[in-house]
């Protein structure tokens, strides 16, 4: 990897995903950090270069005056290796092609671009990592700004096509900024005619149904669908469905307009309680199966749900803005406090994480795997592999009694239909803690192989830090039980 990109020098690596590499850089003579995005060394291919150049194209367009605070500023990009793409036919617009380079051997360096460093994290952290949701009143403030950011893109003739909490970050004032334009594209041609797309990418939990199955689709309507899922994330802390496929039992009810059945099913999973009628109406309109039934961004801004904050006085708006900012500041302190767990979660999602310890002929394989639970919050599974014969029912009963006896906090064990599975809830409530900090996990015993068993642990409620702390303690309890056999 190069040490220097134009006027920018590498300070430290920030992360990576897919084929991209994100680097923290400093500019000569300026004591300020920026983010530089380029390609991983092993991913320098024509296709990936074209995708990154497409992102540069979009940011160039979005950084023309007048600018928006909800769009990242483009400070620099690699002009030497940047290739301006030729105009394409309407039907081919979603396939990015450049005049040059035409052969792999012509690739001499990685393209890159430089933008602001958003150190306050993404909306993903403020919802998923903390297992948090916002009151409808506060969510309105946040969501209105996100809508205005996407509307700015649409007003410039660009649809994002990968809207999700991970691509909404916060600046130092805790204002949302829309990032990652790798899938973005122009949806109007030079004659102002709508361009329909033929290739859908995006993230599966947020892409619209037509991106999956139709020959062509309207990018603007797809963005509105994704925004609907983000809205649900904000207010409930979870997804309204797994995917927009009709095979998804949640989305199937939306597709068939069985709204009463949909909300009943969500409530059975303890999701959606207390939501206002205005919220439900707007959300269901935004994620409608038929694109033409979804509202425009203008209609969303004028909706009954957002009308409350629109009609506030200037002072009331300022007070509400300060409330929301204060909420983010408090949440950010918690995020900083569990930063190691955030790194752990990121590492899990990308690579997995394994530790191993040995004792008394039992091998404990503590393998963390990123999984999804029904409402699509990030989940973590651990398992312990035990060698040697077990009386399965006795083992689980003894484990329940040991957990009850060795946790200082009150625990509640909820058995299942099978004697080899139970859920244990931990009351982690602390003084002056404004949030309910109850956490829970499911523990299940499986026959793995001859004389080998697998005890699986799955977070079912609460944040990652409490879950992980409780898992480590139960792991120690299990080890001690087996040593005493």
Domain membership of residue 374 (yes or no) is: yes
Q: Are 464 and 456 in contact (CB under 8 A)?
A: no
- Both 376 and 268 in one domain: the answer is no
pLDDT-based confidence at 92, cuts 50/70/90? Answer: very low
Of 9-13, 66-70, 113-117, 428-432, the one with minimum mean pLDDT is 428-432
- Both 197 and 239 in one domain: the answer is yes
What span, in angstroms and rounded, lies between the C-alpha atoms of 154 and 370?
A: 34
* Range 332-338 average pLDDT: 73
Q: Which of 313, 337, 361 is the last residue of a domain?
A: 337
Whether the per-residue pLDDT at 368 is higher than 60: the answer is no
Domain membership of residue 33 (yes or no) is: yes
Domain membership of residue 427 (yes or no) is: yes
Whether the per-residue pLDDT at 348 is higher than 50: the answer is no
List, for residues 170-198, the tens digit of each pLDDT value. 998 999 999 999 899 999 888 888 888 87
Which pLDDT value is given to residue 63? 97
Number of domains into which the chain is organized: 3
Q: Report the share of the chain in percent with pLDDT over 90.
A: 38
- Both 27 and 157 in one domain: the answer is no
Higher-pLDDT residue of 349 and 209 is 209
- Both 330 and 356 in one domain: the answer is no
Of 153-167, 181-195, 246-260, 434-448, the one with minimum mean pLDDT is 434-448
- Both 162 and 219 in one domain: the answer is yes
Most confident of 96-110, 203-217, 437-451: 203-217
Whether the per-residue pLDDT at 2 is higher than 80: the answer is no
Residue 365 tokens read as: 């394989």
How many residues in the chain?
A: 485
Domain membership of residue 226 (yes or no) is: yes
- Both 110 and 124 in one domain: the answer is no
pLDDT-based confidence at 16, cuts 50/70/90? Answer: low
Q: Which of 306, 337, 368 is the last residue of a domain?
A: 337
CATH of the domain at 271: 1.10.510.10
- Both 172 and 312 in one domain: the answer is yes
Whether the per-residue pLDDT at 276 is higher than 90: the answer is yes
* Range 96-101 average pLDDT: 36
Instruction: State the residue range of the domain holding 437.
Output: 352-483
Domain membership of residue 428 (yes or no) is: yes
List, for residues 247-260, the tens digit of each pLDDT value. 899 999 999 999 99
CATH of the domain at 40: 3.30.200.20
pLDDT-based confidence at 91, cuts 50/70/90? Answer: very low
- Both 225 and 132 in one domain: the answer is yes
Domain membership of residue 342 (yes or no) is: no
Can you give the three-state secondary structure of the chain, one letter per residue? CCCEECCEEEEEEEEEECCEEEEEEEECCCCCEEEEEEECHHHCCHHHHHHHHHHHHHHHHHCCCCCCCCCCCCCEECCCCCCCCCCCCHHHCCCCCCCCCCCHHHCCCCCCEEEECCCCCEHHHHHHHCCCCCCHHHHHHHHHHHHHHHHHHHHCCEECCCCCHHHEEECCCCCEEECCCCCCEECECCCCCECCECCCCCCCCCCCHHHHHCCCECHHHHHHHHHHHHHHHHHHCCCCCCCCCCCCHHHHHHHCCCHHHHHHHHHHCCCCCCCCHHHHHHHHHHCCCCHHHCCCHHHHHCCHHHHHHHCCCHHHHHHHHHHHHHHHHHHHHHHHHCHHHHHHHHHHHHCCEEEEEEECCEEEEEEEEEEECCCCCEEEEEEEEEECCCCHHHHHHHHHHHHHHHCCCCEEEEECCCCCEEEEEECCCCCCCCCCCCEEEEEEEEEEECCEEEEEEEEEECCHHHHHHHHHHHHHHHHHHHHCC
Q: Which of 84, 116, 148 is the last residue of a domain?
A: 116
Which pLDDT value is given to residue 223? 97
């Amino acid at each position: 990897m190069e040490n220097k990109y134009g006027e920018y020098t590498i300070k430290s690596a920030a992360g990576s995903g897919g084929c991209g590499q994100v680097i923290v850089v400093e500019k000569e003579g300026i004591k300020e950090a920026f983010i530089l995005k380029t390609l991983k060394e092993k991913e320098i291919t024509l296709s990936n270069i074209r995708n990154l150049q497409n992102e540069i194209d979009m940011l160039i367009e979005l950084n023309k005056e007048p600018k928006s605070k909800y769009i990242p500023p483009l400070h620099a990009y690699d002009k030497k290796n940047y290739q301006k793409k030729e105009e394409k036919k309407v039907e081919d617009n979603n396939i990015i092609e450049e005049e040059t380079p035409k052969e792999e051997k012509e690739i001499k360096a990685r393209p890159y671009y430089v933008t602001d460093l958003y150190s306050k994290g993404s909306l993903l952290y403020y919802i998923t990592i903390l297992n948090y949701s916002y009151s409808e009143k506060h969510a309105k403030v946040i969501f209105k700004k996100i809508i205005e950011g996407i509307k700015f893109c649409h007003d410039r003739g660009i649809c994002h096509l990968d809207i999700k909490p991970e691509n909404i970050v916060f600046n130092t004032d805790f204002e949302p900024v829309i990032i990652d334009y790798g899938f973005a594209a122009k949806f109007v041609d030079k004659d102002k005619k709508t361009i329909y797309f033929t290739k859908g990418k995006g993230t599966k939990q947020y892409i619209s149904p037509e991106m999956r199955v139709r020959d062509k689709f309207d990018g603007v309507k797809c963005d509105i669908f994704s925004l609907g899922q983000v809205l649900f994330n904000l207010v409930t802390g979870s997804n309204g469905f797994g995917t927009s496929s009709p095979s998804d039992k949640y989305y199937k009810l939306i597709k068939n307009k069985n709204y009463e059945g949909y909300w009943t099913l969500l409530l059975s999973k303890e999701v959606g309680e207390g939501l206002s009628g205005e919220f439900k109406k707007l959300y269901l309109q935004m994620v409608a199966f038929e694109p033409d039934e979804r509202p425009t961004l203008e209609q969303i801004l004028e909706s009954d749900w957002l009308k409350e904050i629109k009609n506030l006085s200037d002072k009331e708006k300022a007070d509400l803005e300060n409330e929301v900012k204060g909420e983010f500041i408090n949440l950010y302190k918690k995020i900083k406090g569990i930063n190691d767990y955030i790194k752990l979660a990121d590492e899990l999602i990308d690579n997995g994480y394994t530790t191993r310890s040995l004792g008394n002929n039992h091998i404990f394989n503590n393998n963390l795997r990123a999984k999804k639970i029904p409402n699509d919050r990030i989940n973590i599974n651990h398992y312990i592999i035990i060698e040697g014969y077990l009386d399965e029912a006795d083992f689980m009963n003894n484990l329940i009694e040991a957990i009850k006896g060795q946790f200082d906090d009150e625990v509640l064990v909820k058995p299942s239909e099978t004697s080899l599975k139970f859920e244990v809830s931990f009351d982690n409530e602390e003084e002056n803690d404004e949030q309910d900090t109850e956490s829970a996990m499911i523990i299940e015993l499986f026959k793995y192989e001859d004389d080998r068993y697998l005890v699986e642990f799955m977070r079912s409620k609460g944040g990652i830090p409490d879950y992980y702390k409780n898992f480590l303690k139960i792991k120690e309890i299990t080890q001690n039980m087996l040593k005493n056999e």
